[in-house]
Chains A and B, each alone.
Chain A
Amino acid sequence: MSEVMVIGGGIAGIQASLDLADMGIKVYLVERKPSIGGVMAQLDKTFPTNDCSI
């Protein structure tokens, strides 16, 4: 069975889902908030490069 459930749609959950999906694995990405993004989506810039977070 090549299906996986990822619990949490923040940066870690999204990255794990993308890696799995790129390997041909079907992923269910479960997020309790109305949209994925997690805490990182709330941030303005990120250290140490001061790049925008999204």
Chain B
Amino acid sequence: MLDAGRHPNIKILAYSEVESVKGQAGAFTAKVRKKARFVKEDICNACGDCLAKCPRKVPDDFDMGLRDRRAVYLYFSQGIPAVATIDKDHCTYFEKGKCRLCERVCQRGAIDFEQADEILELSVGAIVVATGLDVFDPTPLTQYGYGRIKNVITGLEYERLINATGPTGGHLYRPSDGKLAKKVAYIQCVGSRDLNYCKHCSTVCCMYAIKDAMLAREHDPEANSYIFHTDFRNVGKRFQEYEIKGRELYGINYVRGRVGEVQEDKEGNPVVWYEDTLKREVKSLAVDLVVLAVAAMPAKGSKQLAGILGIELNESGFVRVRDEEPADTSKPGVFACGFCNGPVDISESVSQASAAAIRVAEMILPEVKVAAG
């Protein structure tokens, strides 16, 4: 991230969206809307004085709404570019016409309420799509109680709780009463491998559930974890060993079987009802916290972006790439890499990104020609 921010050949246009793309391979013209932050990017040094004074609290989307940020905010503390942003939809000044406290406390004069969106016109030879993923909202799967039972959270919410820079400083305090969660159930395939929602397998959840359970044990030696899985799909280098290490060194209980229902007892503990398919018994288990491995799906707006770019998507909404050249989309000059092509983990995303970069280089740099096959 830092390298990208410092590289002389990379111009980061954050808080920006592509509005239109015209032209063809070698000569595209893209219109990009650079949304107004109401903060001068070249002057702000992210000191945080404005954040401390802003009176308006808003759920922090980076922390999955588990804590509040202010209407003027840093997206996250190590974010690049390191610049504050004023959230126009929640700012008191934009709502009521007065406040401007941030402007008064900013010693560098970086706040600019007059700023407007800019439309930039870029002339580029090639385009790389790397729009990644968004996660499935499990509310429609009412049997798991997400949204109704406070101690049922998603994998990404868990990720923020266990993170040292997250809302609880890395302690697994559960949402209902702030009690330290010692017994955690992980429910796999929530919305994925499900004909009603996402047919595809999200591929990363088996491994991240094991990782999450390992972290719980590292943070608290008394932590007990149960992973309710359809079947383990740990296909990758050293993944199988990771699964075994989880069971043998971290004491994780792997339970094969899909969970039927999650109920709540009087103390607010989620009670997981499941069929143990190995013993052919229906059982229940009361735990402190339930973590749902929700489906990862194409990022919001990727359908619209595909329309703008004129590229095809597959039936799951991921970018359709060519079998023989997996970084090429259906349109010459437009390449794609990472999760937007279909579920991949981080290391595969990185490999695909390098593959896309070399395909671009082959096209626009005359001296690069990689031999096929």
Contact = CB atoms under 8 A, between A and B. Distances in A.
Interface of A: 1-48, 50, 53-54
A38 B132 contact: yes
14 contacts: A1-B123, A4-B125, A5-B30, A23-B365, A27-B9, A27-B11, A28-B32, A34-B79, A35-B76, A35-B81, A39-B156, A42-B62, A47-B210, A53-B346
A22 B4 CA distance: 10
A16 B13 contact: no
| 9 closest cross-chain pairs (CB), A and B | A12-B338, A35-B79, A19-B357, A13-B130, A15-B353, A21-B9, A8-B130, A34-B75, A12-B130
B128 interface: yes
Contact of B349 (A6, A15, A23, A28): A15
B52 interface: no
Contacts of A27: 9-11
B15 interface: yes
Q: Is the interface of B mostly helix, strand, loop or mixed?
A: mixed
B122 A5 contact: yes
B62 A11 contact: no
Interface of B: 1, 3-5, 7-18, 26-28, 30, 32, 37, 62, 64, 73-76, 78-83, 85, 122-133, 156, 159-160, 162-164, 166, 170, 207-208, 210-211, 214-215, 236-239, 241-242, 299, 301, 305, 337-340, 345-346, 349-350, 352-354, 356-358, 360-361, 364-365, 368
A23 to B, nearest CB: 5
Nearest to B131: A8
Contacts of A3: 122-125
Contacts of A42: 62, 64, 76, 156, 159-160, 163
Given A11-B338, A47-B242, 6 more contacts: A1-B125, A2-B125, A8-B340, A12-B339, A28-B124, A38-B132
B176 to A, nearest CB: 22
B156 to A, nearest CB: 6
Contact of A17 (B10, B211, B242): B10
Given A35-B79, A47-B211, A30 B17 contact: yes
B129 A8 contact: yes
A32 B18 CA distance: 9
A29 B85 contact: no
A5 to B, nearest CB: 4
A32 B16 contact: yes
Contacts of A14: 1, 4, 353
Nearest to A33: B75
Contact of B1 (A4, A25, A36, A45): A36
B132 A16 contact: no
B105 to A, nearest CB: 20
A5 B28 contact: yes
A14 B9 CA distance: 12
Contacts of B79: 34-37, 41
Contacts of B354: 15-16, 19
A32 B34 CA distance: 9
Given A7-B131, A26-B11, A2 B32 contact: no
B163 A44 contact: yes
Listed residue (B9, B133, B345, B350) with the most chain A CB atoms within 10 angstroms of its CB = B9
B305 to A, nearest CB: 7
A43 B161 CA distance: 10
Given A47-B242, A50-B214, A5 B124 contact: yes
B18 A7 contact: yes
Nearest to A48: B242
A46 B364 CA distance: 35
Contacts of B164: 44
A48 B301 CA distance: 31
A9 B338 contact: no
